[in-house]
Structure 1
Amino acid sequence: MSSRTFRITVRGAFDGLTAGQRAELTAAAAEHDVLHAAFTAEGHLAYDDVAVRPFFTFRFLETGETEEDILDATARAELAAESWLTERGYGFKQLKSRAQDLSLAPLGKRGRREAARADGRS
């Protein structure tokens, strides 16, 4: 079997943050800037200015062997996001997840051209 790569996003909103927590998040905002967002195994948190927009997104990268493994990967990502927030005492609401199996993603023009080269058809 071949390995599949899954990209999972877990979105939500901070809820009931104290002034200290807002200050903490604001101080760390540069490392969580949406312009530097990446899908990683441990999950990458991105958010805007929490005083203006309380929304956040975690991005996770997982692998599996079968298409059904995406369900377990999504559950692990949700749990990891919840754990990260809870461990720091950040309230949250409206968690929603979305997962994509990259082996099923359509190829763009460059991807099709590279696939054709790999198959020996130029």
Structure 2
Amino acid sequence: MFRVTIRGTFAGLSDADRAALRTAADSFGAAFTEAGTFTCDSSLSAFTFRCQVPADLEDGDQEATQRAIAALDAHGYPYRILRVAVTDMRDIKIRRKGRRR
């Protein structure tokens, strides 16, 4: 599983887009989902988009980034990307506390 975080700015939101984002702002969570979730500032200028992409991809980070951008495009808001961060969850090691005897 890849987790992709896209930080960006909204570009030229219409009044209808702003109203829709303000209405939905309470329902947006900071979770990683396949459809992607937004968090944004109160002025609706900057946002963070979190998306989860299946890890069976041969191309790795590039393919995960493309799929996350496609999920961002599906929301239909005009944007400009500032930064993209991709984490391959298969590379994450979990340290477990040892059992005490």
Q: What TM-score bracket applies, with the shorter chain setting the length?
A: 0.7 to 0.9
Question: Residues 40-51 of structure 1: matches in 2 within 5 Å?
Answer: 40-49=33-42, 51=43
- CA 1:77–1:91 in structure 2 vs 1: closer, same or farther (change >3 Å)? same
Q: If the length of structure 1 is used for normalisation, what is the TM-score?
A: 0.66
Answer whether contact 2:57 2:63 (CA < 8 A) is retained.
no
- CA 1:103–1:22 in structure 2 vs 1: closer, same or farther (change >3 Å)? same
Give the number of the structure whose alpha-carbon radius of gyration is greater: 1
Q: What is residue 15 of structure 1 aligned with on the other side? A: 11
SS of match in other structure, 1:97: strand
Identity %: 35
SS of match in other structure, 1:26: helix
| Uncovered stretches (5+) of structure 2, i.e. residues with no partner | none
- 1:96, 1:78 → 2: CA distance? 12
1:82 is displaced (CA, Å) by 2.1
- 1:103, 1:7 → 2: CA distance? 10
| Uncovered stretches (5+) of structure 1, i.e. residues with no partner | none
Count residues with an aligned counterpart: 100
2:30 to 27, 37, 40: 37
